[in-house]
Every structure is written in C-alpha cells, then in structure tokens.
Amino acid sequence: MSEVPILKETTRSTGREALRNNITAAMALAGAVRSTLGPLGQDKLLIDDEGRTMVTNDGVTVLESAKVEHPVANMLINASTTQDRIARDGTTSAVLLSAELLQNAWELVLQGVHPSAIARGYRHAEEACRNHFENLVIKATEKHMLAAATTSLSGKIHQAMQHHLAALAVQAAKAVVEQRPTGPLADPTRVKILTQTGGSMTDSSLVTGLVLAKKRVSDRMPKQMPSGKIALVDGGLERRELMSNVKLNVSSTGVLESFRQKEKTVLLEQINHLVDLGVTLLACKEGIDDDLHAALTDAGIQAYRRVSRSDLDLLARGTNATLNHDVKGLTASDLGVFIQSSNERWNGVMHWIVETEEGGATFIAKGSTNETVGEVERCFADALGVACQLLEEPALLPGGGATQIALARHLRRFAEGFAGREQLAVEAFADALEIIPRTLAQNAGLDPLDTLLQTVAKQTTDGGKNAHFIGLNVEKKRPADMVEDGVVEPLRITRQVLAGATEAALSVLRIDDVLWAKKDPAAPEIPEED
C-alpha cells in the first residue's frame, strides 16, 4: 500500500534542522536588544505603521513593539513580558540568557549530546543556582533600596534624572505599603500616574494621595473639605430614562409638571439619604443631574461625576470604601474615610486631590514632548516595581555581572559531581550566565573576554567572604565592589530571570518537529483606473 501524503499542504523541518532554525531565530531576537543592556547601552528608535516614533532603552518595549512571526521568537518575547510583569526589570537579561543557553546547547548537540540530557543538566544547574542564592544575598537597607531603584534606570535616562525618579519611586512605594499578617504588601498599581506635556523631566513630582483631573460639579461647593466620609457610586444621580417601548401620553401641562416634580423628589430623597449617613464627599461613575447641584451644595457635600471605574477602585482601596450601584443601597459600612479633599489648578486644568488614611500616591510625569513624557512614565514604573519588591522581600544581589560570575564559578564546581553528560550541560549553563558581564563590557566599549577574565580573577583571588561583590563597573571600566559602588538589584529579578530563561530554553530544546501550514496566496490588488 502506497503512502498517502497527509501533510501535503505543510512545510516540515525535523531533528537538527528544526533545532538549528529555532536557535537561529532566538539568537536574532537577542541581537535586537543586546546593545540596550547596562548603563552604557544604546537606545532604539521605534517607528510604527502610522509613522509615530519612540526612543527607548527598555528591552521589553522594543520586543513588544516589533512585528515578529517566528513562533520561537514569540516564546522568548512572552518570557520577557512575564519577567516585566513579575519583576519589572531584567527583561533584556532574560532574553540574552535564554538565547545563550540555546546556543550552548546547540554546541553540545553537535558533539553528540542528546537534548534530553542537556535539559536534565540545565534543570540541575538552575536548582543549584537557586540554592546558592542564600550565600550571595544581602539584606536591603533604605540606602540600598534607593541604589537598586537607581540601578534599574541605568542607561534609560540621564544620571541626574535617575536619582530623581528613584527617590520618588521609593517614596511612592512607602506610601502604598500595607502590613498584612503574611508580611508587607506593596502594590504598585495603587500609585496613579498622570502625564503632563511641558517643562522638563526634573519637574516630575509625587503627590501623597490620589490626584484626578476632575473638577467638582459646582463651583459653589467647598473647594477644600476636611476629614470626613466618602461615598462611591458605580452609577449616577440622574433621572431615569423611559424604556424604549414605553409611550407616555400627557393630557395637560400640570400632569407633566407633577411628573417632573416626582422625579426630582426621588432624587432629593437620595441626597437626604447621603446626609443621614454623614457623607461629605461623593464620587459617581456616571452623571449628576444639574437640578441637584444646589441641593448637594446646601448639604455641604463635595461631589464629582464621571469618575472612571479604575479611579473609583483606587479610591475604594485608599479610603476603605465599598462601591455601590446606587445611592439608595448605601449603608454606613459602605462608606470610606478620607483625610482631606482639595482642588488645585495645574497648567490651566483643575485637579482633585484626595488624601487617604490607607496611603496612596500620584506621580506627575512631565517632559517637553509626548515621547519624553512616555519614557519618564515607563522609567518610573520600573523603579517603582523594584522599590515595591524590596519592601516585600528586602533581599539584594550585587549587580554589574557579579552575581552571574559567582553563580558560574559555583556551577563549575557543582558540575564535577556528575559522571554523565549532564556535566557538560551544567558547564554550558555556567558559560551562558557569563553572557551578562560580557555584554555589559561590550556595550561599554571594552573587550568582553579580557574584562570577563579580569573580573573572574578578581573574585577568585580576593578570597574574602564578600568576593562575590566584585563585578564590572562600566563607569570606572574595571572590576570593583558593586555593593560599595551602589550597583545592586533585587533577588526577585535575578531569580525570575533564571527561571524564565531556563524554561524558555527548555521549551525550545524539546521541539524536534516544526510544521508550517502553507498560506494561501493573497489576492493581487487591482490598480485603480484613471
């Protein structure tokens, strides 16, 4: 019986050919962001389909903005996106490490080592690294926290702005930290970011509390409110509209007037309900009827309408209030407490500032252009994520490639305990870790190999308990004590880089068959007739 071609509409590559193609795609992706790593990394100019431009040094921004079709490249981009979501930094390192792990695995495959043996060795190496972290970690102080936030901004903006944004990020993280039974929790989403075009980047500031570009519904309402109770309504104070299939026949003007008065009476009853509960501040997702402005003012209630759901959620978390669908359903337990509510005009726009007991902060990002403001916003978000991590887990590792070199040295000793081919994979993992200091040196204009050897020798000959602090200081262009120089990064970042890069590399190594479905030819465009 002859074979029936069941995959006749599919292009197929198997075995080494499939692995080689996948690794080539991974190396090409890593090459696109390699030059952005480190404080002396280069920027990328991104241009979208509509001609809009963006200049950035953020690896995940570059990768997510690129149009990538190869599935393996998309797998690495997903790993980078996960790194950004969990750790807020280390996205470029994750891509470089995963690509280098694949490149080293390919060298072993050419020597006859099966991908399964390589995968087992990589798993052992990752576990050894995680177990060795406890020997490298240092406890974070407030000074170290500021240094780590500054390190996360290295190469993204100029040095003066790095310190400014790092200080604001640490201050914002402290404003939103909560003490839970399981430990401190610092949620960066509780920090609202407002963007304003105009001025310089150094004009960016932090306001304790929530700031919204909103004005009170009536200028007669108090401009400032002292401490009181706040009600949050996931609706509005408006007249209800009739159903689309309902017709109302009015026989006289008196009937219509009484109908309108009844509607107003129902709305006034809701305001009386707010007064009985002691509400002095009201925020609604939808509108507030114009006829109620005077009644709210007379009741001493400061009211805001058309507040977005996301802002209502932030208000609820800051004031410990509960969102309710209508005013009638509000109870005393649904109300929150605020410290002060005020209104200020910034650059011709009225802003509402709410100070809350549970903490909260608003970052005002400023810059001369929209592109500059966008970069300030992204940089602050990165620094804020690092600061929040350190409040939750105050553990740091030395930067400048010092941790990767120390882990590589440990792995080479660890590999000696394997009698099988996994030993080669563990050594390949150690070699891959050194891609970080080599790339840092290359981006700083130094010889990657010579600089790496000097740093390794410095760590080895130092011999002290802090030998693993020695890394590459690209500003001094020589090995130095990274902790002393203030170049540190959270443990969570490096831990996630190792986990994400290893998992991405192993996912690619397990692929030995790639099936590409043939695409139908696109219909040719018909030229328009003159």
Catalytic residues: 58, 91-92, 382
Q: What is the DSSP letter of 190?
A: G
What is the rounded CA–CA span in Å between residue 460 and residue 454? 10
**Structure token pair of residue 52:** 């809009």
Residue type, 419: A
Q: What is the DSSP letter of 324?
A: B
CB-facing half-sphere around the CA of 325: CA atoms within 13 A: 0
Q: Locate tokens 């400032």: which residue?
A: 224
- What angle (nearest 5°) sits at the alpha carbon of residue 360, between those of residues 358 and 362? 165
Q: Which SS3 state, helix, strand or coil, does residue 508 take?
A: helix
- What angle (nearest 5°) sits at the alpha carbon of residue 263, between those of residues 259 and 268? 140
Kind and range of the H or E element at 315? helix 309-319
Q: Which SS3 state, helix, strand or coil, does residue 325 take?
A: coil
Whether 125 contacts 425, CB under 8 Å: yes
Q: What is the DSSP letter of 32?
A: H
Residue type, 118: I
What is the rounded CA–CA span in Å between residue 386 and residue 375? 17
